[in-house]
């Protein structure tokens, strides 16, 4: 009998090509369109550019997924995870923003929806694997750990967002296009005359889409304007619209003029609603030398003992940074940077690598310089 794979079919080109590859590899493929967001139910009004559209983007995506399924001759099902998304992804997302931190919803979405709720559904219909259109690779080894590798296309590699997958999830997962580059995926889609061959990639918040972010957050968190202060002089240099709207290292949208270098967000004093800024993209106030990482998911069943050298990314698309890590307990580690790193931000993810192997990742809890916690973050 063919092995059964349940594929997340989103209506985009990546998952469409993934479906074709799986069929060519001899699997029985069942496509599932995941519906995780309901704009009317979730009060998604302010900042939503699609409120007056005749058909919402999610329904357009579903229609595209149906066309792909028909074109490839596979079954398509539609499954709702709206409650799971709200409870496990969006609630945490709002809580972190309300604290002035900057969470990553894509990582949470993968952990709790695509590789938990979706995987549970796949197991309920006796699937052998789930698959997605992520640009990542996985090596399965009989009787041993599965290993996650970066996607071949370094510009599209998405292992950063998959850092919270555990062994059980990874051993049940396939990434059919991880060995391909994006241009190769587009070319194959064109050759196959897939109806989504030229469809633009989705952007915005995971499963929600493009939003005017400041307006969108106002649906759930009241905005409170406050002072923008130069951290070097302690002088007020402007007004912010709400510290939740800004992230460490941000340059655009500050509205500060005047002479000298560009201004950057360098910190937040949450209790006093102050946003700290500095001038110059290499300013010492932007730099740090270490961080405490919590909620660490280590993909291998064996954690390193003592100090361990590897590389780390502290945000997506950042270059690899040489670091040394040491586990403090099962889910907490301290990371020491070999060179100072700019704009390491509490709430965001730190993801660790050994060459192409993604080792795992966690949440940046505290940031350090000169062996002291940077409290203005």
Active site residues: 109, 206
Compute the distance between CA of residue 122 and CA of residue 101 in angstroms, rounded to an integer: 34
Q: How many other C-beta atoms are found inside a 10 Å radius of the C-beta of residue 31?
A: 26
Compute the distance between CA of residue 273 and CA of residue 244 in angstroms, rounded to an integer: 10
Burial of 4 from C-beta contacts in 10 A (0-12 / 13-18 / 19+): middle
Q: What phi and psi values does residue 182 have, to the nearest 5 degrees?
A: -60, -45
Burial of 26 from C-beta contacts in 10 A (0-12 / 13-18 / 19+): exposed
Structure tokens at 177: 């296009």
204 Cβ contact partners less than 8 Å away, ≥ 6 residues apart = 210, 211
DSSP symbols for 183-209: HHHHHHHHHTT-TTTTPPPP-SBTTTB
DSSP helix, strand, coil percent of the chain (3-state; round to 5) = 25, 30, 45
């Amino acid at each position: 009998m063919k092995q059964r794979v349940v594929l997340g079919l989103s209506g985009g080109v990546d998952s469409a090509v993934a479906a074709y590859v799986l069929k060519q590899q001899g699997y029985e493929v069942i496509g599932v369109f995941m519906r995780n967001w309901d704009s009317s139910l979730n009060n998604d009004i302010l900042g939503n550019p699609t409120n007056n559209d005749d058909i919402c983007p999610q329904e357009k995506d579903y229609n595209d997924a149906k066309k792909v399924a028909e074109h490839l001759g596979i079954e398509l099902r539609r499954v709702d995870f709206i409650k799971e998304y709200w409870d496990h992804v969006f609630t945490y997302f709002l809580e972190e923003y309300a604290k002035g931190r900057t969470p990553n919803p894509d990582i949470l979405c993968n952990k709790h929806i695509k590789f938990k709720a979706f995987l549970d559904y796949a197991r309920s219909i006796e699937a052998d694997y789930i698959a997605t259109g992520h640009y990542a690779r996985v090596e399965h080894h009989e009787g041993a750990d599965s290993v996650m590798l970066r996607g071949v296309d370094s510009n599209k590699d998405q292992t950063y967002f998959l850092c919270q997958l555990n062994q059980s999830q990874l051993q049940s997962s396939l990434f059919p296009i991880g060995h391909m580059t994006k241009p190769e995926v587009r070319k194959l889609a064109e050759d196959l005359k897939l109806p989504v061959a030229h469809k633009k990639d989705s952007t915005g918040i995971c499963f929600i889409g493009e939003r005017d972010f400041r307006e969108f957050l106002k649906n759930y968190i009241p905005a409170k304007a406050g002072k923008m202060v130069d951290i070097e002089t302690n002088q007020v240099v402007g007004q912010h619209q709400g510290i939740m709207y800004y992230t460490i290292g941000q340059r655009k949208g500050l509205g500060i003029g005047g002479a000298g270098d560009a201004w950057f967000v360098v910190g937040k004093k949450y209790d006093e609603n102050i946003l700290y800024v500095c001038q110059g993209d290499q300013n010492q106030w932007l730099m740090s030398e270490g961080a405490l990482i919590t909620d660490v998911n280590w993909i291998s069943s064996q954690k390193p003992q003592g100090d361990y050298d590897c590389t780390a990314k502290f945000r997506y698309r950042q270059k690899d940074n040489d670091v040394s890590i040491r586990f403090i307990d099962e889910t907490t580690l301290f990371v020491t940077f070999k060179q100072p790193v700019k704009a390491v931000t509490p709430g965001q993810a730190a993801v660790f690598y050994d060459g192409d192997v993604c080792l795992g990742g966690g949440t940046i809890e505290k940031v350090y310089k000169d062996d002291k916690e940077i409290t203005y973050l």
